[in-house]
Amino acid sequence: MTPEIAARIDSLLRGATDAGFSLHAHDWGIEVVGEGAFWVYSQPLFDEFRPEDVLERYHAMPKSSKDIFNGLMDRLRRGQGDVLYATGDWIEGMEVGPGKISIVAAPPGFGKTTFAMQYAFDAIDHNPDLTVYVANAEMSFEVLVKRELTRRSGVPQKALRFADLTPGQIAKVEAAAAEIEPYLPRIVVMPEPYTLSDLQKWADGRCGLLLLDYLQLFAPSDDPRLGVNMVMRELRHLANQGWGVLALSAVTRGKNKNGSAYDSSQLTMASLKESGEIEFSADSIYLLRDQGPLDPADEKVRRVDLHSGKNRHGERVSHDLVFDMPKSSFGRAESTQSTAERYSEFDEYEDNPFSGASDSYLEASF
């Protein structure tokens, strides 16, 4: 957007408010509301400029307390409140939606990437106009979508990794691929390099659900705390533009009798790596806490507390989940069954970050 275009948009927006009209932001641009010749302002805003440019200038406008209050009352009269993305009942009511920064934190290998991608596919399924923007600095989209194939097909990850598939497994993978393919036009993947400045350029002119994995990797500067502060300020800027943000966070190691280790069951908001600005800026913070195996005979299917550490806009609601590691899947605890026999086809898996002491985890990414 050139300075001339910005100035022209600003002039129309200011003219509309000076003339007594109200401005309402939508995905498609700005609606000018009121009695009189509102089209003098709405028509050029709609016809002459890109919606994203109009929205950017609208959000940059200084607003008086009266403007803010009048806008609130008008939205209430219209029945326009906060929006959370619709999802399946496994995670219903999770505080993720337009204008909000939501954080999910867990140790390495505990499933935060798997959780976030399952949430993303679920959100796409239940919100037909939603586009998900994936900025993953840890792993390629090919790896991520392989996990979705595993979740939908039940075919082990190792079989997919080495393409060592039986005819029956191929059929299951093909069926899962047919389910996934219609979603792909609404999934946009950020290319390398994964820096904060490149994230800013990539997000410019777009809007949807941003899945950031994980936020500390995008932090510039030699000072980690300053870098995370810069990332959180950019995420707040995006949220103010109408983005929904689901950002994953690393956590710090705790201390135990054996030295330093991750103890997921004891996570708090202070566990977030460079936690100060994250705690301050986030609208909601969730901690994936390990609650032990669902079945003592099967260490790879874990009970998980998605613990709500913060909700700026309402009550804190946690979710009891089960993380089925071989299937790359999360589900509601009461609706998930687990037996050693059921998962016998996954006995080949040895890379279990939860085996052994409950407060120790391998350095792996799930």
Q: Is the pLDDT of residue 43 over 70?
A: yes
Q: Which residue has the tokens 């509309």?
A: 16
- What residue type is 105 in one-letter code? A
Angle at alpha carbon of residue 248, lines to 305 and 290, rounded to 5°: 25
In this predicted structure, what is the pLDDT of residue 276? 75
Cα distance between residue 336 and residue 206, in whole Å: 37
Instruction: Answer with the residue of higher pLDDT: 179 or 220.
Output: 179
In this predicted structure, what is the pLDDT of residue 348? 36
* E strand spans, the chain: 22-26, 29-33, 101-105, 132-136, 187-189, 209-213, 244-249, 254-256, 259-261, 284-295, 298-311, 319-324, 329-332
In this predicted structure, what is the pLDDT of residue 1? 75
Residue 81 main-chain phi, psi, to 5 deg: -110, -165
Cα distance between residue 275 and residue 273, in whole Å: 5
Cα distance between residue 256 and residue 258, in whole Å: 5
Please, what sign has the CA dihedral across residues 321, 324, 328, 329?
negative
Cα distance between residue 124 and residue 351, in whole Å: 31
In this predicted structure, what is the pLDDT of residue 121? 94
Q: Is the pLDDT of residue 235 over 90?
A: yes
In this predicted structure, what is the pLDDT of residue 148? 93
The average confidence (pLDDT) of the chain is 83
Q: Is the pLDDT of residue 167 over 90?
A: yes
Domain coordinates of the chain in residue numbers? 3-78, 101-286
- What residue type is 296 in one-letter code? P
Cα distance between residue 251 and residue 107, in whole Å: 6
What percent of the chain stands above pLDDT 70? 87
In this predicted structure, what is the pLDDT of residue 28? 80
Query: Left if phi > 0, otherwise alpha if psi is -120 to 50, otherwise beta: which for 242?
Result: left
In this predicted structure, what is the pLDDT of residue 255? 59
In this predicted structure, what is the pLDDT of residue 193? 92
In this predicted structure, what is the pLDDT of residue 335? 47
In this predicted structure, what is the pLDDT of residue 344? 32
- Indicate the fold that domain 101-286 takes in CATH: Rossmann fold (3.40.50)
Q: Which whole-number Å values give the CA distances from 249 to 130, 132, 243, 272, 320, in the listed order? A: 23, 19, 18, 7, 20
Q: Is the pLDDT of residue 345 over 50?
A: no
In this predicted structure, what is the pLDDT of residue 130? 93
Q: Is the pLDDT of residue 106 over 80?
A: yes
Cα distance between residue 10 and residue 264, in whole Å: 49
Beta carbons within 10 angstroms of residue 48's beta carbon: 13
Instruction: Answer with the residue of higher pLDDT: 344 or 162.
Output: 162
Q: Minimal CA–CA distance to 215: which of 254, 272, 287?
A: 272
Q: Which residues contact 298 (CB under 8 A, 6 or more apart)?
A: 338, 339, 340, 343
What is the arithmetic mean of pLDDT over 176-188? 95
258-309: per-residue pLDDT in tens? 545 566 667 777 777 766 778 888 999 999 898 888 888 888 898 999 998 8
Q: Which residues of 236-251 are buried (b: 16+ CB within 10 A; e: fewer)?
A: bebbebbbbbbbbbbb
Under a CB-based contact definition with an 8 Å cutoff, are residues 336 and 294 in contact?
yes
Q: Is the pLDDT of residue 317 over 80?
A: yes
What is the arithmetic mean of pLDDT over 228-251? 90
Q: Is the pLDDT of residue 349 over 70?
A: no
Residues β-bridged to residue 254:
261
pLDDT band at 359 (very low <50, low <70, confident <90, very high): very low
Grouping H, G, I as helix, E, B as strand and the rest as coil, residue 210 is strand
Instruction: Answer with the residue of higher pLDDT: 204 or 266.
Output: 204
What is the arithmetic mean of pLDDT over 137-160? 91
Under a CB-based contact definition with an 8 Å cutoff, are residues 244 and 96 in contact?
yes
